[in-house]
Amino acid sequence: MINGTVVDLSRVQFAATALYHFLFVPLTLGLSFLLAAMETVYVTTGKPIYKQMAQFWGKLFMINFALGVATGLTMEFQFGTNWSFYSSFVGDIFGAPLAIEGLMAFFMESTFVGLMVFGWERLSKGQHLAATWLVAFGSNLSALWILVANGFMQDPVGATFDPFTMRMQLTSFQKLIFSPDVQSKFVHTSIAGYVTAAVFVTGVSAFYLLRKRHVPLAKRSLRMAALFGVLATIGVITLGDALGFVAARVQPTKLAAMEGLWKAQAAPMPFNLIAFPSQTEQKNDGVVQVPDLLSLLVTHSLDRTVLGVDALERQARRRIEQGIPAVQALRVLARDPTNAAALAKFTAHRRDLGYGFLLQRYAPDLSQATPAQVRAAARDTIPPVAAVFWSFRVMVGLGLLMLAFFVLAALYSLHNTVQNKRWFLKVAVWMIPVPFLANECGWLVAELGRQPWTVFDVLPTWMSASTHSVAYMVFSLIGFLGLYSIFIVIELYLLVRAIRLGPAEPGGAGEGRTVPAAAHGGKAEG
């Protein structure tokens, strides 16, 4: 059996690298489309200030893109090094979208990003605009394939376990990519990236307006980002609702953890606005509730309910009992693949195989499993409630804060008075870290809420890791944390430096100097 500390360290290492990587990715996803919007205005109006905007924000995009790629590459290797059983068990399915991501989306993105950066003087306006749009689509297609792989871990459709090869095999690529979880997760994540980029552009533009530097560029950037942001935030909230609706059906334990729902309640269920969940006592302290809201949010009705932790644990106990014969039959088939009785037994219980694996952690010899061990395994099926509950609330709270921020930004900008609202400009600068924090919380809700599974209902986390030593894991974890912290410092240094220098002036002269509004002439000012 794999050492529990090694499994925990493998989880911490993957979480740390993913959380670092996810600081860079959303900005790339969103900024690429904002660049496309700015360049589209440049090509359609011919005003040089939009070219200057596209080039300036493009420089910041490139800094972020380069470090995002650097932090992302190692994650794919971790599947092989730290999660070898997982990779062997589901590699046939999981590997396909990752390979498509590399061959299609990443190559497309990487090829056209070169044309976007170096092609300003070499391509026609239309060709360059096409390259920018293709970078934007490539970046987001890259996210799509990663999230198809992740969606399989959340809702494993389109695949079946083969008892002869002892691996999951793909049965329907269509089901895999059109899974409701994958669709809503991709759109939610992609648009969360748009919101991140919009807050970033608004914040940096506000910084320039506060210092009265690059005012025409800052006002236009802020206007475009505010409108982009307000619509994107509405979209991200809508898709968040869709994800919750999907979770109620495919991952009820995650939903129960998100809502701190220990016991089923009669409809319409109240929403726990604030609560301090206790996993050991299975109850909430200090609860502040909003009547009826939970039923409305997760069932879109006032007369339906969802299961609480108590009912889900009872369900898990039944499935664990059903999973015992599946694992026992699998062991027989491993020795004798022609054993028809074992195959029939396996086929009858295959749906609960993963639950049998869960019990193995407590009872390596399943024929000797006690009711107490079954109860312990059933209790494991509930994710860490307090962490999921609060990550979810922080994410939602920050999402609503950003919606209010963008509505105000759009109003002030549309009235063309934003440059006079110094308090708002200061708030906008301080808002820059907010979407990054919300994104990290979203990742925690999605991945902590999936526990104790790597592939939901199919493969438990405890048996997915590699058999490394604790020392190896500690050493590599320290290495990753050190290296990635350096990456963050480099990113911040380069971004702050580029922002302080400011945009290059049209014609390439005098980078960083203040440009009076009049210098853009009639064209720039319309």
Per DSSP, the three-state class of 275 is: strand
Question: Would you count residue 100 as binding another protein (CB under 8 A)?
Answer: no
Complex with another protein: residue 50 or 357, whichever CB lies closer: 50
**CA pair distance 453, 275, nearest whole angstrom:** 25
Question: Would you count residue 272 as binding another protein (CB under 8 A)?
Answer: no
Q: Answer for the pair 298, 245: CB distance below 8 angstroms, yes or no.
A: yes
Q: Answer for the pair 327, 360: CB distance below 8 angstroms, yes or no.
A: yes
Q: Which of 196, 413, 454, 461 binds another protein (CB under 8 A)?
A: 413
Piece of 73-81, 180-188, 268-276, 396-404 that binds another protein (CB under 8 A): 180-188
Closest CA to 13 of 470, 489, 487, 488: 470
Question: Would you count residue 294 as binding another protein (CB under 8 A)?
Answer: no
- Whose tokens are 């689509």? That residue is 137
**CA pair distance 304, 295, nearest whole angstrom:** 6
Q: Which of 6, 54, 113, 239 binds another protein (CB under 8 A)?
A: 239
Which residues from 42-61 bind another protein, rule CB under 8 A? 44-45, 47, 50
Complex with another protein: residue 14 or 50, whichever CB lies closer: 50
DSSP assignment letter at 29: H
Question: Would you count residue 186 as binding another protein (CB under 8 A)?
Answer: yes
Piece of 28-36, 82-90, 436-444, 449-457 that binds another protein (CB under 8 A): 28-36
Tokens found for residue 293: 């809201």
Complex with another protein: residue 288 or 414, whichever CB lies closer: 414
Q: Answer for the pair 301, 340: CB distance below 8 angstroms, yes or no.
A: no
**CA pair distance 233, 96, nearest whole angstrom:** 32
**CA pair distance 395, 443, nearest whole angstrom:** 10
Complex with another protein: residue 172 or 514, whichever CB lies closer: 172
Q: Which of 187, 330, 459, 473 binds another protein (CB under 8 A)?
A: 187
Bridge partner list, 473: none
Complex with another protein: residue 54 or 465, whichever CB lies closer: 54
Distance of closest approach, residue 526 Cβ to another protein, in angstroms? 3
Question: Would you count residue 233 as binding another protein (CB under 8 A)?
Answer: no
Does the bond joining 180 to the residue before it have cis omega, within 30 degrees of 0? no
Tokens found for residue 70: 């650097």
**CA pair distance 423, 416, nearest whole angstrom:** 16
Which residues from 110-169 bind another protein, rule CB under 8 A? 140
Complex with another protein: residue 273 or 414, whichever CB lies closer: 414
Site residues for another protein per CB under 8 A: 33-34, 36-38, 40-41, 44-45, 47, 50, 140, 174, 178, 180, 183-184, 186-187, 190-191, 194, 219-220, 223-228, 231-232, 235, 239, 242, 413-414, 416, 525-526
